[in-house]
Structures are given as C-alpha cells and as structure tokens.
A = this chain, B = another copy of it.
Amino acid sequence: MPYRIAKLKEKLCENQLDSYLVSRPPNLRYYTGSMGGSHLLIASDIDPLLLVSSLDSYVVKDQAQGCLVEILSQTNQVSQIADYLREASCINVGFDDLSHRFLHRLKERLPEITFIQNHEIIWSQRVVKDASEKNLVKEAGRLADLAMNALQEKLTLGVTEYLLAAEASYAMTKEGAESHAFDFIIGSGPRSAYPHSSVTNRKIKRGDLIVVDIGATYKGYRSDITRTFIAGRPNPKQMEIYETVLRANEAAYSEMKSGASCKYVDNVAREIIEKSGYGAEFIHSLGHGIGLEIHEPPTVSQRSMEKLEVGNIVSDEPGIYLHGYGGVRIEDTILVTAKDPIKLTRHPRKLDEVVI
C-alpha cells in the first residue's frame, strides 16, 4: 500500500520523526496489505523494508506491495533491526509496540537514536477509511446481515443459543468471512441484560428478550451488528424499552455527520434514554470505530474529545440493561460521509420485524 506509506511519511515529518518501526499486526497489514510480516521499517531515504519469518516469506512476497521483503533472523533480531536503523540513518524513530526488553536492547546498541512510542500518528490515518477499506467493511457488513438473517430464520422456541451461533457462523463463513469479527454474544432471557455476554446452551423461552451481537471479518476488516429479538408477543415494558432504544439509535444515526462531536452524538442517544427513565441502565458508550480491529478510535462516548470526519466507520449501539430482567441493544455499523451517514449493516429492526 505505497499510498498509505507515503501519507505516513508526511505525518512523520509533521511530528519531527524521520522514521517509524511498525510491529502491531493490524498496522503491518494496513501498510503492507500482508498478514505475515513481523516488522516494517519506514524511513526517509529507503524503500519500506518488511521483515518476515522465513516461514511466511512466499505468502508475504505475493501480498506485500511496494516493500522490500527481507527474512528476519530467528536468533539475532535486535542486532539485525539495529543494523537496518543505522544504515537508514535514523535519528528520531517512532514505534507502535515494542516490548520493554526489546526496546532496552535496541537503545543499548543505538545510543544515538531516540525512540518515541506514538500510536496517534497511525490512528490519525487509520481512523479515516480509504475507498478500499470502505468496500471491505461494506462486504463484512453484508456478510453479517446474511448471518443475522440465517439466524433469525432458525430462531424459535426451544433452540439453543449455540445453535443460533452456528447458523450465523455458517452463513457468513460459506460466503467468505474468514472468521467471526469477535466472539459472538447471544444473550437470551435474563442473560440479555449482560452487555458482554457469551453464548450458552440455554434454550429460547417464550417471553425472552434475545440480544444477538455478531460480526464478520472479511480480508481483515470487520463489521458489527446487534439485533434484539422478542420471543412471543412483547409485553408493554418490552415494547417501551425496545422503542426507546430504537429511537435513540435512529436519532444518533441521523447526527453522525462530519464535524459533529462524538460527545454530542452520544448525548443525543443518551438524552432520549434518560427521558424515558432508563438513563442509569444505558451503561456503556454509544459507539466505537470499526476497521481492521473491532474496537478502534474514534470512541463515541460522553468523555470523547473527537469529532466525526468523512471516512470514519463507527458503531451506533445504544442499549438498556435491566439486571435480572433482560436487555435491549440495537446496533449498526455506520459510515460517515460528506452527506448523510450510510448504514453498512441493514438487517430489519422495527419492533414487528424482531418478534418471533
């Protein structure tokens, strides 16, 4: 991905860095297009240098674009990397992730070089998705929709959460999802009140709220969708919390515009839930960025200092959780554009569409 590396080089310059040593796997994938690399050295006067283990060299050479690929020594990595840094005349080296020991040994060998951990420089770039990334998240969203649809078709009294997870997994994997975007959450009955639940062998019962939070990974990129289903005719309380969460979701969605502060967007949803009397039960933030990782910047929360920009992809996921009773969360993956926001997950979610 030479254009991404070129942009990083501009940002290095603005941050008084002349080089950057990339080691976090999602960052390596972002800059090289390849999954197998170990370290990537980006410096002013050399071509990007990707170090790989010999095991991965064939795959990486096929995948990595615009990089020199060298085999990483298995016995002497610190010396090898120190030599490259010296040869590239590095002075101020940014890095994302090096162990304390590795960094200490690098510094011993290179007392003339300053090392500065700087995640922000990469996040400021990754937070704005480019065209290729938008297409990949869109496809991951399509796969998550397929999975939610397959799950809903099997959702009936007496089936286990396990079986529902299997149906979702099958549908997305058959069409090309390389993995689940995260461990699925299928919380039925009282378990729906745990925002971070899991999947169990509990069987669906009449009257259950069923929170289903799933996502697909496609070529490294992720999607995130939650639907809450209701087993049987909803009672007035279920209807009230469902409709409240849906209104909060819709209201926040329509504010997800370039320039809007994340704090404001969170607050739009939060006020609706507070006015319905459930403010204390909306116990998490409204959303998070989604891309190569399932939780990325920006954070759409009460404490967030960020503003939404064109090209952000974030979740919109208000929820109400009544401990011991049940919960409702409704979530979609949203692309911020120069005009209206675009939903990248689209499974139906009106009240009458989620009653089973």
Contacts and interface: CB of A to CB of B under 8 A. Distances in A.
A36 B169 contact: no
A24 to B, nearest CB: 12
A174 B179 contact: no
A178 interface: yes
A199 interface: yes
Contacts of A183: 178-179, 217
Nearest to A191: B59
A264 to B, nearest CB: 19
Contacts of A198: 35, 178
Contact of A173 (B59, B169, B284): B169
B169 A163 contact: no
Interface string A317-345: 00000010000000000000000000000
A38 interface: no
Interface in A158-191: 162-163, 165-167, 169-171, 173-176, 178-180, 183-184
A117 interface: yes
Interface in A260-308: 283-284, 303
Contacts of A101: 117
A235 interface: no
Nearest to A117: B100
Interface string A187-204: 000000111111101000
A10 to B, nearest CB: 24
A196 B54 CA distance: 11
A56 interface: yes
A253 B217 CA distance: 35
A3 interface: no
A179 B215 CA distance: 12
Nearest to A219: B198
Nearest to A283: B55
A193 B99 CA distance: 33
A132 interface: no
A59 B99 contact: no
Contact of A165 (B99, B162, B166, B173): B173
Nearest to A97: B99
A283 B75 contact: no
Given A75-B303, A103-B100, A174 B178 contact: no
A55 B195 contact: yes
Interface in A22-47: 35-36
B194 A184 contact: no
Nearest to A160: B174
A285 to B, nearest CB: 9
* Across the A-B interface, the 8 shortest Cβ-Cβ residue pairs: A166-B174, A166-B173, A170-B170, A169-B169, A100-B117, A169-B173, A166-B170, A55-B284
19 contacts: A58-B193, A58-B194, A59-B194, A59-B197, A74-B303, A165-B173, A165-B174, A166-B170, A166-B174, A169-B169, A169-B170, A176-B199, A176-B201, A178-B183, A178-B199, A179-B180, A179-B184, A180-B180, A183-B217
